[in-house]
């Protein structure tokens, strides 16, 4: 059985290796590891909103985590805690997601990836959750907090995880405030949105937590299986 090819978006950030220190297109290896373990072949897409043709050669799109989306993308003013915009990445990922939908590709969004999906559907973000609910989702940048999440009965995420209540791992200070035309199907214990889906499609799923660093392959396995069927 052939392995489906999974396009994975990448960061464009300063990086240092060996004697070099310069901007680099990169992604944490856990995303690659989980795709491979689930039976897929990952390929990295650097930020490039001017050329989306790679999506015509792949079987699915994975939108990974990272810096905050520019609030201008959802008609908001940046708050004091919002990251400096990664303009090229925002433009690229929003364009890639919309093109993936046109091509009927399965899509999995993780953390920022979920937020990209919501913004693409006309939604908006809460720019700093600690102002609303405290530090349930992250005590310190670069760390994870575990907390409970609950899901709508019959939702895709509930089917994949075979439960409507579980423990997830978060590392974020922003969240989806309005899912736009997507459907919110999962919430943290503080009722902030943890999952969005498009129930009209076989696999359009965004999660706010980080399954790539969990010892649970089910989300990636379901995603790769959907890519194989596509």
pLDDT tens-place string over residues 83-121: 999 999 999 999 999 999 999 999 999 999 999 999 999
Q: Encode pLDDT of 166-219 as tens digits.
A: 999 999 999 999 999 999 999 999 999 999 999 999 999 999 999 999 999 999
What is the reported pLDDT for 132?
77
CATH code, residues 5-229: 3.40.50.880
Are the C-beta atoms of residues 58 and 43 closer than 8 Å to each other?
yes
Q: Once rounded to an integer, what is the mean pLDDT over residues 36-40?
A: 98
Strands 204-207 and 193-197, bridge-based pairing: antiparallel
227 is catalytic: no
The whole-angstrom separation of Cα 184 and Cα 217 is 22
Residue 128 falls in the annotated catalytic set: no
Q: What residue spans define the domains of the chain?
A: 5-229
- What count of other Cβ atoms lies within 10 Å of the Cβ of residue 55? 20
Answer yes or no: are the C-beta atoms of 47 and 25 closer than 8 Å: yes
Residue whose C-alpha is closest to residue 137's, from 211, 183, 190: 190
Which among 126, 194, 197, 212 is annotated as catalytic? 212
At 230 the pLDDT is 83
Whether 212 is a known active-site residue: answer yes
Q: Tell me: the pLDDT tens digits for 47-90? A: 999 999 999 999 999 999 999 999 999 999 999 999 999 999 99
Q: Where are the alpha helices (DSSP H) in the chain?
A: 29-37, 87-102, 112-120, 130-133, 156-161, 218-229
Residue 67 CA to residue 125 CA, distance in Å, equals 13
Phi and psi at residue 14, to the nearest 5°: -60, 140
Determine which one of 111, 150, 194, 197 is catalytic.
111
């Amino acid at each position: 059985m052939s392995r489906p090819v999974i396009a994975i978006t990448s960061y464009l950030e300063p990086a240092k290796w060996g004697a070099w220190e310069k901007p680099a297109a990169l992604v944490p290896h856990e995303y690659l590891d989980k795709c491979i373990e689930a039976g897929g072949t990952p390929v990295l897409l650097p930020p490039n909103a001017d050329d989306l043709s790679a999506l015509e050669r792949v079987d699915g799109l994975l939108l990974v985590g990272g810096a905050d989306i520019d609030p201008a993308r959802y008609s908001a003013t940046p708050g004091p805690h919002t990251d400096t915009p990664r303009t090229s990445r925002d433009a690229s990922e929003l364009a890639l997601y919309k093109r993936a939908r046109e091509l009927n590709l399965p899509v999995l969004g993780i953390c920022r990836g979920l937020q990209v999906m919501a913004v693409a559907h006309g939604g908006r973000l809460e720019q700093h959750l600690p102002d609303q609910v405290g530090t349930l989702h992250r005590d310190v940048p670069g760390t994870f907090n575990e907390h409970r999440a609950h899901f709508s009965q019959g939702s895709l995420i509930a089917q994949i995880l075979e439960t409507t209540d579980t423990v997830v791992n978060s590392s974020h200070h922003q969240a989806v405030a309005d899912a736009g035309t997507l459907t919110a199907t999962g919430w943290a214990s503080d009722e902030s949105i943890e999952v969005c889906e498009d129930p009209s499609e076989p696999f359009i799923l965004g999660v706010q937590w980080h399954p790539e660093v969990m010892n649970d392959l089910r989300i990636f396995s379901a995603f790769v299986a959907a890519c194989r069927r596509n």
